Structure 1
C-alpha cells in the first residue's frame, strides 16, 4: 500500500498560475518571504508566521527547480483529488521516507507531501538556489529629550537585533533536524551598539535612516535598513506645539499689579522677561525667535504663560497692608 499524504498546491501557496515562469515565481516568493518572515512578528503571530514561512520555502524549493517542478506537474489531473492524495503507481523515480518511530513523516522540515515525492534529501540548501534576498527593513523607537532634539549631535544607542543564524545560514535546520543554535527560527538575537547622528531641531515622529543596519540578507543579499522613529520625551518646563514652545512663569500679586522683571527659562538658557503692570493671570508673553528651528530657516516663538500665585507665607505687616488695601477697595 502506498503511503498517503496531504496534497499541497504549491502554485496556490505562492499565488501564481501553473503556467508562471521562473521570474514570476521568484518575484512571488520574495514578496511572500518578506511579508511572513518570523523576525517581523511577535507573540502568537510569530508561530503562525514560521509555519507560513516554511510552507513558502517548500513551495519555492519545488517550483524553482525544473526537475522537481516537472515531477510535481506530472500529477496532472490527480492534483485536485482532495486532501488524501495517493501517489500514482506509475510515478517512477519517487522516493519514500519513514521516520525512526515508524510513522510516515517529515524529518527535514518539509511536509509529508514533499517527502513522499522527493524523499529526505535535498539537492540544495535553503538560499543556495533562491538567489540573494535583501534583508528586512527594521523600525525602532528613538527616545530623545527636548534638549537632545533641539541641539542635535551624536547619541550612542544599544539595540537588540536579529541576525541570520551562522550555523544553519537561515535555513533553521541542520542535517535532518532543527538547528540547535537558533531553535529552528533561522536567526539569532544579538546586541548592537550604534552611533546615531541627530539633526538639530528634529521633530517628534521623524525617522532617521541608518543604511545597512537592518536585517541580514539571505544568500549574500544586502542587509536592510534601520529606521529610528523619534519620540520626544515629556519635559518639565516646555511643551512643543509645532514650531512654537510653551512655558510658564510664576509672579506674585504685587508683581502682576505693579509690573516687574523676572527670569524665564528658554532652550538657550535663562532670559529676563518684562512683566507689564496690571498683568492678568493666564496671559501669555511672546518671546520672538525662541521657539523650535524651522526647516525653511528661522525659528518659531516661545509663549510664556503668566501664573499669579500667593506667597507661601505673609508677615504680620504684609497682612496689615493687605487689610488696608481691601478697605481701600471697598470704597472704590
Structure 2
C-alpha cells in the first residue's frame, strides 16, 4: 500500500541531528502557535489539522525507539512523496490492515508503528506513572516605574496560566481521537490576577520569586515557581545610570551668569539647589545621596545644566542685550 511519506523533522522545523531538548522546545512552540482555541473559522480547521501533524511528529521524534526506527528509513525521502515499504528492508516490521487506525495518526504512522502511538502525550502519561513531578519554573518580565522600584509596595499583575485540560486529563487524547477541548495539546490557558510584593529599592535586572505560580506539575505534582525579572520603564524626568540618577534644569542666561537658587525634583521631593555664578551649559551639579539605594547608602543625583534664550524679548530687554554686547566687544 502506497502512502504519503511524513517528514517529521520538517514538521517540527528541526534538523535530523536535533537534540531531545531542541525537539521538545520546537514542539511546545508550535503547539502554542497552532492551538485551535487561538483560531476561528477556516483558520481553526487548519489549526486542528496542523496540531495533529505536530503531535504525530513529536510522538515519533520524542520517543527514542520510534525515532531510531524512523531514522533507518534514511534521509532521502521528501514530505508527501509516495512511500511503499519494501518487504526486504532489513530490521523493519511493517504493519498492514491498520492504516487510518484509531490512534488518529496518518496512514504512514500506522504502517510503521501499527497504530500503536496511543496518546500523542504518551511520554507525559508514562512520566505520570512514575509519580507526580514538579512543574517547570517560568520567567516573565515585570515593568516598574522608577518610583515603584524606589518605594516598593504591592502591584497587581495579570498572568496567563497553563492548566491541564479537564476533559482529557492532560493526555491530549479523548476516546478515538484528539481532545476537542484542548486541540490535542493537553492543556488550556486561562488568566488570573496576583498581587506581587515589591521590596523597596529593587534594581533593574533583579528577580522576584513567586513560589508555586509556575508551570503545572505533571501527574498532580506541585507547580513550579514564577520568576519576575524587573525592568524599569522609561522616566520623563530621570535618566538611570546604575544607582545614580540624572535630571535636567534649564536656566536663563542671566541665571547662569549671575547665579541663582532653583528648584530641582528628587525621589524624596523637591529641593532647592544653588547655581554658582558663571555656570556653563553641560555642567553637572551633584546632589549627594539622592540616587537609588545600594548595599551601603544611596547613589547620587546629578543635575545637568542647559541654557535657553527666551522665545520673546521686550524692547527694554533687547536694549540691555545690546548694551551687554557693546561691553563684551574685544573681550
TM-score by length of 1: 0.72
- Alpha-carbon deviations, 1:300-323, whole Å to 9, x = none? 000100111112322211111111
1:269 partner SS:
coil
Deviation at 1:155, TM superposition (A): 0.4
Could you say which residue in structure 2 is the equivalent of 1:282? 282
Please say if residues 101 and 115 of structure 2, whose CA atoms lie closer than 8 Å, have aligned partners that are also in contact: no
Deviation at 1:196, TM superposition (A): 0.8
Is 1:315 the counterpart of 2:311? The answer is no
Is 1:38 the counterpart of 2:31? The answer is no
Is 1:257 the counterpart of 2:291? The answer is no
Q: Matches of 1:219 and 1:240 in 2, distance apart?
A: 46
Say if 1:51 and 1:196 are closer, same or farther in 2 by CA, change over 3 A: farther
Structure 1 runs (4+) deviating above 3 angstroms are 2-6, 31-37, 39-44, 46-53, 56-60, 79-88, 94-98, 124-129
- Alpha-carbon deviations, 1:215-244, whole Å to 9, x = none? 111112221221212121111110100111
Say if 1:116 and 1:41 are closer, same or farther in 2 by CA, change over 3 A: closer
How many residues align? The count is 285
Task: Give runs of aligned pairs for residues 167-186 of structure 1, distance below 5 A.
Answer: 167-186=167-186
Please say if residues 249 and 264 of structure 2, whose CA atoms lie closer than 8 Å, have aligned partners that are also in contact: yes
Deviation at 1:86, TM superposition (A): 6.1
Say if 1:167 and 1:59 are closer, same or farther in 2 by CA, change over 3 A: farther
Could you say which residue in structure 2 is the equivalent of 1:304? 303
Q: Matches of 2:209 and 2:327 in 1, distance apart?
A: 67
Please say if residues 203 and 230 of structure 1, whose CA atoms lie closer than 8 Å, have aligned partners that are also in contact: yes
Please say if residues 38 and 50 of structure 1, whose CA atoms lie closer than 8 Å, have aligned partners that are also in contact: no
Uncovered stretches (5+) of structure 2, i.e. residues with no partner? 6-18, 35-49, 75-82
Task: Give runs of aligned pairs for residues 4-43 of structure 1, distance below 5 A.
Answer: 35=25, 38=28, 43=33
- Alpha-carbon deviations, 1:149-205, whole Å to 9, x = none? 111111000022222211112111101111010011111110021111112222222
Could you say which residue in structure 2 is the equivalent of 1:136? 136
Is 1:54 the counterpart of 2:44? The answer is no
Please say if residues 265 and 271 of structure 2, whose CA atoms lie closer than 8 Å, have aligned partners that are also in contact: yes
Q: Matches of 2:328 and 2:72 in 1, distance apart?
A: 98
- Alpha-carbon deviations, 1:227-272, whole Å to 9, x = none? 2121211111101001110111111111101100000111111110
Is 1:220 the counterpart of 2:220? The answer is yes
Deviation at 1:39, TM superposition (A): 5.8
